[in-house]
Structure 1
Amino acid sequence: MSKENNQNTPKKPRFSSWWVYGVIIALILGFQFFSGSTFSTTKKTTTSELQEYLRNGDIAKIVIIRNAGQAKVFLTEEALQKEVHRDVADKPMLPSSGAVPQYVLDYGDLQNFENDINEIKKENNLDTIVDFDTESNILGDLLLSLLPFALIIGIWIYLMRRMSSGAGGGAGGQIFNIGKSKAKLFDEKTDTRTSFKDVAGLEGAKEEVQEIVEFLKNPDKYTSLGGKIPKGALLVGPPGTGKTLLAKAVAGEAKVPFFSLSGSDFVEMFVGVGASRVRDLFKQAKDKSPAIIFIDEIDAIGRARGKNNFTGSNDERENTLNQLLTEMDGFGTNTNVIVLAATNRADVLDKALMRAGRFDRQIYVDLPDLRERKEIFEVHLRPIKTAETLDLDFLAKQTPGFSGADIANVCNEAALIAARKEKKAVTKQDFLDAVDRIVGGLEKKNKIITPDEKKTIAYHEAGHATVSWMLEHAAPLVKVTIVPRGQSLGAAWYLPEERLIVRPEQMLDEMCATMGGRAAEKVVFNKISTGALSDLEKVTKQARAMVTIYGLNEKLGNITYYDSSGQNEYGFTKPYSEETAQKIDQEISKIIESQYQRAIKLLEDNKDKLTELAERLLEKEVIFKDDLEKIFGKRPFDKEDDQEPATVNGHEAKKEETTENEEDKSKVEE
């Protein structure tokens, strides 16, 4: 039969259980309806008419229904021939199970009603039968008693049908389908619109996943040479670098079914549910192969097993992980199902999950470099209405250390700032203000600061600027401000050099510049304040890293106590002795104090310039690189090929901020 004939054939109506319920209800109502006196000739009468009929000798029998307060009147055969009773003389339309009365009335007080009848009978010497009876509606009473149970059962059936039909929030949320997978299936024709064109940068990662796409599109190309399709690829990298976006692009490019879910979707309060969902997920994927399974934040179920499990609370998670390991290792070479996973905590994943044969490839998605940031800006600027042709190289240079998500936030924030200023298009200055807003926070010009505090803040920030200007390896200064922003009271903004390796002299110069704020307070006021908390936190971390991680201390030598597996954090003992701990503390303190004294000496030698810079800062509140050049002269360490940030409307680009806060609050933005 052709498709057209199939389409023209009328479809038979589907059977529904609601028809059965409807028929039962109709039968009950009909029985009640027909069993009554609706279709009989019974007529309602009054007490006075009854007494008159009784005196005339028309009544053969009166049946008093005590529990209903009603009396039924049966006429004699002679009375039925009279004209006055013609309306009730006809036979009933439907047969009845018993005798049908001709009249019925509602009496008031039973005693009075009975006395009146007996009195009339005695006066007229009548033999009318007076009988007493009680009526019971068996069906009605039965329905009334069963109604609560029927209502409860009906509600229960309704809820169960709703949950089993998917109205209860998806397959995983149903009481009968709780073991079903909660993965969302993206249709390759409609849902997955993302392609590799939408993923800027990440060239190395894209190459790896493009090969996976090629596996799915043309598997024979590889299997014909004896190769096997990889079973899994793990995307690892800091938050916001585009791991999930890359997986979406794979789904869009491969044109295959794409199952997406989070690692937490396997977790449930019921025992065994996680493992059941894993089985169901892989069963669905195999049925639709070739397919891709993407598990975001896999560390939710993939943590290393048996590590300090004192309470047994993670047994269910371990069962889920065991099932995942079994499913991944149980794939045949011809199933064409590939598992993609993403995490920023690869160090805590189980070793069995990371081995070859499960996740054959680990793709590291790093923070974008200068060229990649430019490409990311190009992608996110497409929907932005700009007033001019933006210098993307300039914007990329002002955002070192920004992830793809951060850059997207910069573009969105710039558009919001332009809209707030009633602009018709976004300008370059809006992007610079957006970087300021994201890195440092919102300006708080209405914050109440006393003149003495403001002077201290000005000298503190001037100290940072002066020391960093005098040191070769310190980051180039962009601007200094004493306008409160976010949680900070003042900030010195730098544009740090992007380095792959860092030398000891570079770290020491940065530490010296960071201590310049407290050193300036000591040199000028001979007092120190709590405003340097963020500086102390930063230099302490740097000094500790030099001693315990990078092996840059001569006294301790070439040794590190860093554990890349992340297992040390669960231990109860330090990986060194108490004597070594004392040495570490001494060396950390020695490094910090030496840089503090170095900063004090630099500031004492340039105290007049420090004072001039602080006074200008108090006057203008915000000063730029040009102001420092007027006071200190050209910085001797600047490279000739370095491009200085362009000034736009009196502002310049900025990135790294060192902030000082009220009392014990502080923040360092890097």
Structure 2
Amino acid sequence: MANNKKNIKENKPKFSPYWIYGIIIAILIAMSVFGNNGYQEENLTNPTQFFQFVEDGDVAKVEIVNKRIAKVYLTKEAAEKEIHKKSKPSTLIPTTAQLPNYKFEFGDLQNFENQLDEIIKEQNLNLEPIYTTEENHLGDFLLGILPFILLIGVWIFIMRRMSGGAGGGAGGQIFNIGKSKAKLFDQNTEVKTTFKDVAGLEGAKEEVQEIVDFLKHPEKYTSLGGKIPKGALLVGPPGTGKTLLARAVAGEAKVPFFSLSGSDFVEMFVGVGASRVRDLFKQAKEKSPSIIFIDEIDAIGRARGKNAMSGSNDERENTLNQLLTEMDGFGTNTNVIVLAATNRADILDKALMRAGRFDRQIYVDLPDIRERKEIFEVHLRPLKKAKDLDTEFLSKQTPGFSGADIANVCNEAALIAARNNKKAVDKQDFLDAVDRIIGGLEKKNKIITPSEKKAVAFHEAGHATVSWMLEHAAPLVKVTIVPRGRSLGAAWYLPEERLIVRPEQMLDEMCAALGGRAAEKVIFNKISTGALSDLEKVTKQARAMVTIYGLSDKIGNLTYYDSGQSEYGFTKPYSEQTAELIDKEISDIIENQYKRAVKLLEDNKDKLTELANVLLEKEVIFKDNLEKIFGERAFKKEEQIDIKVPKE
């Protein structure tokens, strides 16, 4: 019964100010319709008819209003005539006054009077025009105030638009522009994401779970004299799950959770950002213990003083100053924890990063093979997958993929299976999805000449041959000469997930990357522009070896990489003589690996040709095809040790 009453109350229409506007408009329309004492007249299309009625003696009285309108009153006998039956006045509002039968507007008053006098004299009629003046005071008043009503209406509309149309009265909503735009998640808000939905990220998840525990059981930590940390900064590459972790906190925490983006503080009006920061922390303190989550905090947290064009009074800097004060200023906030996420921690202000504001920096890295398997299991839950699907195999096929990339692979695989009218998503759909994401869409109808196709086949066969012969090169998975995206051919490898890279490993990878151009040189004695992406890759690797990692004997154990340097700043921390030496060393490294690739392919020219012919015939070859031609690979992969810290 109570629920029925509640439903009846909810179904009742809510009061809206637009009702008042509608009533006023309806009144004005009614007044305009019924403004002439509520009667309706049969208008004459031509004053000539009126003069005919006068000659026939049908007119009893003529009333001239405001020197331009004539009201005609018929005699009782004329009103009974068939021609005048439609002229009987009808009224919606009861009245005792006599109503005219006809009403029309004439042109020049003097001409009208002269013509009327002539007819009266000719017919010897007892008819004298009556002159009256009528004024519509209400209509004149409404016309006078109409411009002011329009101005007020436009002003109310602009105020509503500026304030976002949320909360407060129509005229007072401009004052809400300095209010926080944070979304509040509490016990009444259903957030379905929990820590079970966050696969991998074990270290980061433990840190965040502990922060939630701080707020649930503060006495457990403060009883020993410790203080609850002020904030935690989630740092990591895009797509690794920083915002997902925050959503899990909102789902798990039984305390109010305020969520917003760094760009929500940014506004064109001066002082609005700082005002929104103050309002955000005021709301959080009123509902403490609580959590504030600021996504993409680099929008307001960039280092101060770097933007010289805007001057010292920069709105973004004012917002950052207010944030610094609220997080750890003269007046401290109790039981309010700030979570923030960014993938650009290098550009954040040092004052924001110090202990006391963000006490903890939680690095959310790209998942390893074990974590990728867990992420696949999470994203495979809603899919109708094949029973024999191996998640460990999928995790091995996606090195370097982030959590967002894996979610995209699962979704793309489901779309591919649906496109092929399958009832379940199988292993091949996932492989096709990986190919689609990495290489792009297949373009089987692309126009390519036989000579170009042969050059592409030997180019890709050169990559495959050299990588098979070298110990530290990534093992081959698949080679294709079907155009994908902007490339005419592609080769997929399965790189080892290394934490440290040695010089011989980098050199083997560079040699394998140059195998395509080397194959063109060995077979055709010509080179082409098809090796652009390979040359770009090896040039970056060689430059990194020389200038960043200090792996060159001629340059020595020096690095010219400065982690604190701004991305927009340009400095050259070496002399012109050193620059020449660096350029020569980079060129020597690349040329030596190119000669090494040419030598390898010349020694195995017959196998290279056989592999290229198979590729031309089948267009796609796999690891099995290389084993038939070259035999099993002589190098065994080093076993990886899964290091786990035992829990006490």
TM-score range, shorter chain: 0.7 to 0.9
Deviation of the 1:363 alpha carbon: 0.3
Question: Partners in 2 of 1:600 and 1:162 — Cα distance?
Answer: 68
Question: Partners in 1 of 2:317 and 2:350 — Cα distance?
Answer: 13
DSSP-derived class of the 1:166 partner: coil
Aligned position for 2:323: 324
Question: Partners in 2 of 1:541 and 1:290 — Cα distance?
Answer: 50
- Letter matched to residue 432 of structure 1: L
Aligned position for 2:613: 615
Greater mean deviation of Cα atoms: 359-368 or 384-393? 384-393
1:26-74: per-residue Cα shift (whole Å, max 9, x none)?
A: 99899999996569xxxxxx8899899999xxx9x98644524336989
Question: Partners in 1 of 2:169 and 2:341 — Cα distance?
Answer: 24
- Letter matched to residue 116 of structure 2: F
CA 1:381–1:111: 2 relative to 1, 3 Å:
same
- Letter matched to residue 581 of structure 1: A
- Letter matched to residue 592 of structure 2: S
Deviation of the 1:459 alpha carbon: 1.7
Question: Partners in 1 of 2:480 and 2:17 — Cα distance?
Answer: 76
Aligned position for 2:70: 70
Question: Partners in 2 of 1:170 and 1:375 — Cα distance?
Answer: 51
Aligned position for 2:568: 570
Aligned position for 2:599: 601
| Runs (5+) with no aligned partner, structure 1 | 40-45, 76-86, 643-670
CA 1:112–1:566: 2 relative to 1, 3 Å:
same
Aligned position for 1:624: 622
Q: How does 1:56-135 map to 2 (within 5 A)?
A: 64-70=64-70, 106=103, 109-116=112-119, 132-135=131-134
Aligned position for 2:586: 588
- Letter matched to residue 635 of structure 1: R
Question: Partners in 2 of 1:129 and 1:528 — Cα distance?
Answer: 113
- Letter matched to residue 612 of structure 1: E
Aligned position for 1:83: none
- Letter matched to residue 496 of structure 1: P
Aligned position for 1:264: 263
Question: Partners in 2 of 1:193 and 1:153 — Cα distance?
Answer: 45
Aligned position for 1:483: 482
Aligned position for 1:455: 454
CA 1:323–1:640: 2 relative to 1, 3 Å:
closer
Greater mean deviation of Cα atoms: 139-148 or 516-525? 139-148
DSSP-derived class of the 2:309 partner: coil
CA 1:595–1:130: 2 relative to 1, 3 Å:
closer
From 631, 637, 640, the counterpart of 2:635:
637
- Letter matched to residue 112 of structure 1: Q
- Bigger relative contact order, structure 1 or 2 (CA pairs below 8 A, ≥6 apart): 1
- Letter matched to residue 70 of structure 1: A
- Letter matched to residue 397 of structure 1: K
Greater mean deviation of Cα atoms: 423-432 or 538-547? 423-432
Aligned position for 1:215: 214
Deviation of the 1:598 alpha carbon: 1.3
- Asked if structure 1 preserves the Cα contact closer than 8 Å seen for 2:550 and 2:558, the reply is yes
Question: Partners in 1 of 2:525 and 2:56 — Cα distance?
Answer: 125
Aligned position for 2:143: 144
- Asked if structure 2 preserves the Cα contact closer than 8 Å seen for 1:70 and 1:104, the reply is no
Greater mean deviation of Cα atoms: 363-372 or 515-524? 515-524
Aligned position for 1:191: 190
DSSP-derived class of the 1:233 partner: strand
Q: How does 1:526-537 map to 2 (within 5 A)?
A: 526-537=525-536
Structure 1 residue 465 and structure 2 residue 464: aligned? Answer: yes
- Letter matched to residue 574 of structure 2: Y
DSSP-derived class of the 1:623 partner: strand
CA 1:23–1:618: 2 relative to 1, 3 Å:
closer
CA 1:306–1:115: 2 relative to 1, 3 Å:
same
Question: Partners in 2 of 1:607 and 1:23 — Cα distance?
Answer: 92
1:148-203: per-residue Cα shift (whole Å, max 9, x none)?
A: 443443454466467768369999x9644222222222243433111100000000
- Asked if structure 2 preserves the Cα contact closer than 8 Å seen for 1:229 and 1:333, the reply is no
| Runs (5+) with no aligned partner, structure 2 | 40-49, 76-87, 107-111, 641-648
Aligned position for 1:649: none
- Letter matched to residue 538 of structure 1: K
- Asked if structure 1 preserves the Cα contact closer than 8 Å seen for 2:162 and 2:177, the reply is no
- Asked if structure 2 preserves the Cα contact closer than 8 Å seen for 1:188 and 1:252, the reply is no
CA 1:131–1:271: 2 relative to 1, 3 Å:
same
- Asked if structure 2 preserves the Cα contact closer than 8 Å seen for 1:299 and 1:343, the reply is yes
DSSP-derived class of the 2:308 partner: coil
What is the RMSD computed on CA atoms of the aligned residues?
4.0
Aligned position for 2:500: 501
- Asked if structure 2 preserves the Cα contact closer than 8 Å seen for 1:441 and 1:486, the reply is yes
CA 1:103–1:400: 2 relative to 1, 3 Å:
closer
Q: Structure 2 length normalisation: TM-score? A: 0.83
- Asked if structure 1 preserves the Cα contact closer than 8 Å seen for 2:515 and 2:594, the reply is yes
- Letter matched to residue 573 of structure 2: P
Greater mean deviation of Cα atoms: 606-615 or 365-374? 606-615
DSSP-derived class of the 1:387 partner: coil
Question: Partners in 2 of 1:606 and 1:129 — Cα distance?
Answer: 127
DSSP-derived class of the 1:247 partner: helix
CA 1:14–1:527: 2 relative to 1, 3 Å:
closer
Q: How many residues align?
A: 605
Deviation of the 1:623 alpha carbon: 2.1
1:367-396: per-residue Cα shift (whole Å, max 9, x none)?
A: 011111111111011111112132221111
DSSP-derived class of the 2:338 partner: strand
- Letter matched to residue 421 of structure 2: E
Structure with bigger gyration radius? 1
1:327-354: per-residue Cα shift (whole Å, max 9, x none)?
A: 2113866632111111111101111111
DSSP-derived class of the 2:176 partner: coil
- Letter matched to residue 248 of structure 1: R
Deviation of the 1:565 alpha carbon: 2.2
- Asked if structure 1 preserves the Cα contact closer than 8 Å seen for 2:72 and 2:103, the reply is no
1:611-655: per-residue Cα shift (whole Å, max 9, x none)?
A: 22222222222222222222222221124979xxxxxxxxxxxxx
CA 1:110–1:570: 2 relative to 1, 3 Å:
same
Deviation of the 1:428 alpha carbon: 1.5
CA 1:50–1:527: 2 relative to 1, 3 Å:
closer
